[in-house]
Chain A
Amino acid sequence: KAGVTQTPRYLIKTRGQQVTLSCSPISGHRSVSWYQQTPGQGLQFLFEYFSETQRNKGNFPGRFSGRQFSNSRSEMNVSTLELGDSALYLCASRRSSNEKLFFGSGTQLSVL
């Protein structure tokens, strides 16, 4: 069974640009959640989608948005990039709210 797949693995952008990250969950998993990880702030929850609906959202500005498609794949978008958005962005999938999370390897975003 294939794991959670995130693309691209690495990304370099400049301030003011926007970026879209992709996450393909494990087959059969309807939930996808996104996280930002930086050395100083640890693992921060961005949002979680289940069956194409956002179920919860972390404390991030509106520049961070996401969506989920009918095949459960999810995308995360960050607009007007700032230097502080440089981080490892992780997504995780699970079958339902009380099941364990399976994480992808992440997308390393560098904003110059």
Chain B
Amino acid sequence: LAKTTQPISMDSYEGQEVNITCSHNNIATNDYITWYQQFPSQGPRFIIQGYKTKVTNEVASLFIPADRKSSTLSLPRVSLSDTAVYYCLVGDDTGFQKLVFGTGTRLLVSP
């Protein structure tokens, strides 16, 4: 079961690019990586998912190095509304293993 480690908090300013890294040293071959965003008093919301190399969608990019022991969520040109907690989750695509979320990274975007 891959345990994840993320920075507890990060600060940024509007318009900057933010990179949040998640460490998952014992990731297994069949594991994939998913990132979620959570606002206060709401459930987490899916941002992006990947298995290897780079994935990009309309809101973020996910970079996964060849050894897959870490992953980086990249948010381009953040705005105040990106202030939230970001979680990475390592999951198995072959079965129902325990869904263990890390502590999350609290991102604060200032004007």
Contacts and interface: CB of A to CB of B under 8 A. Distances in A.
Contact of A92 (B41, B43, B96, B98): B43
A32 to B, nearest CB: 11
Interface residues of B, number: 25
Contacts of B43: 4, 90, 92, 103-106
A83 interface: no
B103 interface: yes
Interface in B40-60: 41-46, 49
A98 B103 contact: no
Nearest to B97: A56
A109 interface: no
Interface residues of A, number: 27
Contact of A105 (B34, B41, B49): B41
A97 B92 contact: yes
Nearest to B93: A98
A29 to B, nearest CB: 13
Secondary structure at the B interface, as helix, strand, loop or mixed, is loop
A42 B4 CA distance: 13
Contacts, number: 67
A75 interface: no
A97 B93 contact: yes
B94 interface: yes
A102 B47 CA distance: 11
Interface in B77-97: 87, 91-97
A35 B101 CA distance: 10
Contacts of A88: 41
A90 to B, nearest CB: 5
Interface string A7-50: 00000000000000000000000010101000000111100101
26 contacts: A4-B43, A33-B99, A42-B101, A43-B44, A43-B87, A45-B98, A50-B96, A55-B96, A56-B97, A56-B98, A56-B99, A58-B98, A90-B44, A97-B92, A97-B94, A98-B93, A100-B46, A100-B49, A101-B99, A103-B44, A103-B45, A104-B43, A105-B41, A105-B43, A106-B42, A106-B43
Interface of B: 32, 34, 36, 41-46, 49, 87, 91-104
